[in-house]
Protein backbone atom coordinates (compact mmCIF):
# COMPACT_ATOMS: atom_id res chain seq x y z
CA UNK A 1 0.00 0.00 0.00
CA UNK A 2 2.81 2.36 0.88
CA UNK A 3 4.43 1.64 -2.49
CA UNK A 4 1.23 2.65 -4.31
CA UNK A 5 1.03 5.90 -2.35
CA UNK A 6 4.60 6.82 -3.30
CA UNK A 7 3.96 5.85 -6.90
CA UNK A 8 0.85 8.05 -7.01
CA UNK A 9 2.78 11.00 -5.54
CA UNK A 10 5.55 10.51 -8.09
CA UNK A 11 3.06 10.44 -10.98
CA UNK A 12 1.39 13.63 -9.73
CA UNK A 13 4.73 15.45 -9.33
CA UNK A 14 5.84 14.47 -12.84
CA UNK A 15 2.47 15.47 -14.31
CA UNK A 16 2.49 18.92 -12.69
CA UNK A 17 6.14 19.60 -13.48
CA UNK A 18 5.57 18.84 -17.18
CA UNK A 19 2.31 20.76 -17.46
CA UNK A 20 3.97 24.03 -18.57
CA UNK A 21 5.34 22.55 -21.80
CA UNK A 22 2.07 20.73 -22.47
CA UNK A 23 0.21 24.04 -22.19
CA UNK A 24 2.63 25.69 -24.61
CA UNK A 25 1.85 23.02 -27.20
CA UNK A 26 -1.88 23.72 -26.79
CA UNK A 27 -1.60 27.36 -27.90
CA UNK A 28 -1.27 29.22 -24.65
CA UNK A 29 1.60 31.40 -25.86
CA UNK A 30 0.86 34.98 -26.88
CA UNK A 31 2.15 37.06 -29.74
CA UNK A 32 3.58 39.63 -27.32
CA UNK A 33 5.68 36.92 -25.63
CA UNK A 34 7.48 36.35 -28.92
CA UNK A 35 7.81 40.08 -29.57
CA UNK A 36 9.32 40.69 -26.14
CA UNK A 37 11.42 37.57 -25.54
CA UNK A 38 12.62 36.19 -28.90
CA UNK A 39 16.00 37.46 -30.08
CA UNK A 40 17.57 36.75 -33.47
CA UNK A 41 20.80 35.46 -31.91
CA UNK A 42 19.05 32.63 -30.02
CA UNK A 43 19.98 29.04 -30.75
CA UNK A 44 17.46 26.19 -30.76
CA UNK A 45 18.04 25.28 -27.11
CA UNK A 46 17.43 28.90 -26.03
CA UNK A 47 14.19 29.02 -28.01
CA UNK A 48 12.95 25.77 -26.45
CA UNK A 49 13.94 26.83 -22.94
CA UNK A 50 11.71 29.92 -23.20
CA UNK A 51 8.84 28.81 -25.45
CA UNK A 52 8.85 25.03 -25.07
CA UNK A 53 9.11 22.49 -27.85
CA UNK A 54 7.52 23.55 -31.13
CA UNK A 55 4.28 21.75 -31.97
CA UNK A 56 5.85 20.62 -35.25
CA UNK A 57 8.71 21.16 -37.67
CA UNK A 58 7.06 22.06 -41.00
CA UNK A 59 10.29 22.70 -42.87
CA UNK A 60 11.81 21.13 -45.91
CA UNK A 61 15.40 22.22 -46.46
CA UNK A 62 15.36 24.40 -43.35
CA UNK A 63 13.54 23.85 -40.09
CA UNK A 64 10.30 25.76 -39.65
CA UNK A 65 9.37 25.53 -36.00
CA UNK A 66 5.64 26.09 -35.47
CA UNK A 67 4.27 27.58 -32.24
CA UNK A 68 0.46 27.88 -31.91
CA UNK A 69 -0.73 31.04 -30.18
CA UNK A 70 -3.74 31.66 -27.98
CA UNK A 71 -5.47 33.72 -30.72
CA UNK A 72 -5.33 30.71 -33.12
CA UNK A 73 -2.52 32.26 -35.18
CA UNK A 74 0.92 30.65 -35.29
CA UNK A 75 4.52 31.77 -35.09
CA UNK A 76 6.81 30.15 -37.66
CA UNK A 77 10.53 30.31 -36.93
CA UNK A 78 12.71 29.53 -39.95
CA UNK A 79 15.92 28.05 -38.60
CA UNK A 80 19.16 26.53 -39.90
CA UNK A 81 22.11 27.09 -37.59
CA UNK A 82 20.50 30.42 -36.63
CA UNK A 83 17.10 32.10 -36.89
CA UNK A 84 16.51 33.05 -40.52
CA UNK A 85 13.05 34.59 -40.14
CA UNK A 86 10.05 34.79 -37.83
CA UNK A 87 6.57 35.00 -39.32
CA UNK A 88 3.07 35.10 -37.94
CA UNK A 89 0.36 33.26 -39.89
CA UNK A 90 -3.39 32.92 -39.32
CA UNK A 91 -5.25 29.67 -38.60
CA UNK A 92 -5.40 28.95 -42.35
CA UNK A 93 -1.63 29.48 -42.62
CA UNK A 94 -1.96 32.77 -44.52
CA UNK A 95 0.84 35.26 -43.87
CA UNK A 96 -0.04 38.04 -41.40
CA UNK A 97 3.29 39.75 -40.73
CA UNK A 98 6.99 39.39 -40.09
CA UNK A 99 7.74 39.58 -36.42
CA UNK A 100 9.49 42.86 -35.63
CA UNK A 101 11.85 41.69 -32.96
CA UNK A 102 15.08 43.44 -33.61
CA UNK A 103 16.20 46.81 -32.54
CA UNK A 104 19.81 46.97 -33.62
CA UNK A 105 22.53 49.45 -34.32
CA UNK A 106 23.82 49.12 -37.86
CA UNK A 107 26.45 50.89 -39.94
CA UNK A 108 25.50 51.45 -43.56
CA UNK A 109 28.84 51.20 -45.33
CA UNK A 110 27.84 52.02 -48.91
CA UNK A 111 26.27 50.72 -52.11
CA UNK A 112 26.57 47.17 -53.44
CA UNK A 113 28.04 47.77 -56.89
CA UNK A 114 28.29 44.11 -57.89
CA UNK A 115 26.48 42.99 -61.02
CA UNK A 116 24.54 39.76 -60.41
CA UNK A 117 20.96 38.55 -59.95
CA UNK A 118 21.04 38.91 -56.15
CA UNK A 119 23.29 41.99 -56.02
CA UNK A 120 22.56 45.67 -55.73
CA UNK A 121 21.22 47.80 -52.95
CA UNK A 122 23.32 48.74 -49.95
CA UNK A 123 25.60 47.12 -47.38
CA UNK A 124 25.02 47.34 -43.65
CA UNK A 125 27.15 45.96 -40.81
CA UNK A 126 25.18 44.58 -37.84
CA UNK A 127 26.92 42.82 -34.95
CA UNK A 128 29.96 42.09 -37.10
CA UNK A 129 27.98 40.57 -40.00
CA UNK A 130 27.65 42.26 -43.39
CA UNK A 131 24.14 42.20 -44.82
CA UNK A 132 22.66 43.67 -47.99
CA UNK A 133 19.35 45.54 -48.25
CA UNK A 134 17.44 47.27 -51.02
CA UNK A 135 15.75 50.28 -49.44
CA UNK A 136 15.08 52.15 -46.25
CA UNK A 137 11.52 53.02 -45.22
CA UNK A 138 10.40 56.40 -46.58
CA UNK A 139 9.85 57.79 -43.07
CA UNK A 140 13.52 57.27 -42.16
CA UNK A 141 14.41 60.62 -43.80
CA UNK A 142 17.76 59.14 -44.88
CA UNK A 143 18.52 59.57 -48.58
CA UNK A 144 21.21 57.01 -49.26
CA UNK A 145 22.10 58.45 -52.67
CA UNK A 146 23.18 61.71 -50.97
CA UNK A 147 24.87 60.33 -47.85
CA UNK A 148 28.52 60.30 -46.92
CA UNK A 149 29.35 56.82 -45.63
CA UNK A 150 29.46 55.26 -43.10
CA UNK A 151 26.05 56.12 -41.66
CA UNK A 152 25.11 54.75 -38.22
CA UNK A 153 21.43 53.84 -37.82
CA UNK A 154 19.10 52.18 -35.33
CA UNK A 155 16.93 49.68 -37.20
CA UNK A 156 14.19 47.11 -36.87
CA UNK A 157 14.90 44.44 -39.45
CA UNK A 158 14.19 40.91 -40.56
CA UNK A 159 16.05 38.52 -42.82
CA UNK A 160 14.35 38.54 -46.21
CA UNK A 161 12.72 35.51 -47.75
CA UNK A 162 15.83 33.57 -48.70
CA UNK A 163 14.28 31.43 -51.41
CA UNK A 164 15.44 33.66 -54.28
CA UNK A 165 18.75 34.97 -52.94
CA UNK A 166 20.26 32.70 -50.31
CA UNK A 167 22.81 35.20 -49.04
CA UNK A 168 22.56 37.60 -46.10
CA UNK A 169 19.84 39.92 -47.38
CA UNK A 170 17.53 41.80 -45.01
CA UNK A 171 14.42 43.95 -45.07
CA UNK A 172 14.61 47.06 -42.91
CA UNK A 173 11.22 47.92 -41.38
CA UNK A 174 12.26 51.00 -39.42
CA UNK A 175 15.39 53.15 -39.48
CA UNK A 176 16.51 56.27 -37.68
CA UNK A 177 19.85 58.04 -37.78
CA UNK A 178 21.89 57.29 -34.67
Q: In the predicted model, what is the mean pLDDT of residues 33-52?
A: 89
Q: Picking from 14-23, 109-118, 133-142, 145-154, which range would have the lowest pLDDT averaged per residue?
A: 14-23
pLDDT confidence band for 156 (50 / 70 / 90):
confident
User: Does pLDDT of 104 surpass 60?
Assistant: yes
Q: How confident is the model at residue 7 (pLDDT cuts 50, 70, 90)?
A: low
CA-to-CA distance for 27 and 36, rounded, in angstroms? 17
Q: How confident is the model at residue 47 (pLDDT cuts 50, 70, 90)?
A: very high
What are the Cα distances from residue 170, in Å, to 116, 126, 175, 178?
17, 11, 13, 19
Over 99-165, what HEC string results?
CCCCCEEEEEEEECCCCCCCCCCEEEEECCEEEEECCCCHHHCCCHHHCCCCEEEEEEEEECCCCCC
Amino acid sequence: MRFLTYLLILVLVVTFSCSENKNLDKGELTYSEFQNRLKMDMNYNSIVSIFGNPSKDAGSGIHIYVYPLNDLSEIWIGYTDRIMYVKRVDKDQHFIENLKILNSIGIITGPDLRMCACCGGWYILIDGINYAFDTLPADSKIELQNEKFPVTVRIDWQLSDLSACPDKRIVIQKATRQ
